């Protein structure tokens, strides 16, 4: 086997390892259920998420991704999708809620930190079939997140990959 073939096999193994989903089934089910609660107010929206496990347990962040305009005078413009979420219905996704907080970061904090103005709802609790977790519902996606949808000038949406 040549060195090139060996390097190729190593890269394939690394890709497979990186793409493994280590989330437990109860967490996947929980994310799907909460994602279904997002209701875009106009057009379409695609719910994105991020999961992190640390010494305090799981932190799950959910948000509606942005849409990039493709073509026409607004080509390249990134639009945030307005949405609503039924908080009473959200409570039903938990067996127990131990903490419920809403955060809003002011414009002054943005200028000092360079982070965009953010609004988020933070829920600490236990889903019916799972462990204690922290759920963050973000008003806008994280700045490092690419658009979830593209909108062509003919009005057709398509997902980004």
Instruction: Give Cα 69 to chain centroid, integer Å.
Output: 20
Which residues, including other chains, have CB under 8 Å from residue 137's CB and lie 6 or more apart? 34, 61, 62, 63, 85, 90, 120, 121, 122, 123
Q: State the pLDDT at residue 124.
A: 97
Q: State the pLDDT at residue 82.
A: 85
Q: Which residue has the tokens 């909460």?
A: 34
Q: State the pLDDT at residue 117.
A: 54
**DSSP H helices in the chain:** 3-18, 25-35, 87-91, 107-113
Q: What is the pTM of this model?
A: 0.73
CA distance 151 to 76: 10
Low-confidence stretches of the chain (pLDDT < 70) are: 1-7, 9-10, 12-19, 106-117, 144-145, 147-161
Q: Which two tokens stand for residue 69?
A: 């305009």
E strand residue ranges, the chain: 39-40, 47-54, 57-64, 67-70, 78-79, 83-84, 96-104, 119-126, 133-138, 149-152, 157-159
């Amino acid at each position: 086997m040549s060195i090139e073939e060996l390097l190729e096999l190593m890269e394939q193994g690394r890709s497979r390892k990186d793409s493994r989903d280590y989330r437990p089934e109860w967490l996947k089910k929980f994310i799907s259920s909460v994602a279904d609660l997002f209701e875009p107010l106009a057009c379409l929206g695609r719910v994105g998420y991020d999961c992190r496990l640390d010494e305090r347990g799981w932190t799950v962040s959910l948000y509606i991704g942005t849409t990039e305009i493709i073509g026409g005078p607004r080509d390249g413009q990134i639009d945030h999708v307005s949405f609503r979420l039924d908080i009473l219905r959200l409570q039903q996704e938990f067996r127990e809620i131990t903490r419920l907080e809403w955060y809003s970061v002011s414009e002054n904090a943005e200028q000092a930190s360079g982070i965009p103005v953010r609004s988020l709802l933070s829920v600490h609790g236990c889903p019916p079939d799972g462990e204690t977790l922290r759920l963050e519902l973000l008003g806008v996606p994280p700045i490092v997140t690419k658009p979830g949808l593209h909108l062509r000038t003919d009005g057709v949406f398509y997902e980004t990959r």
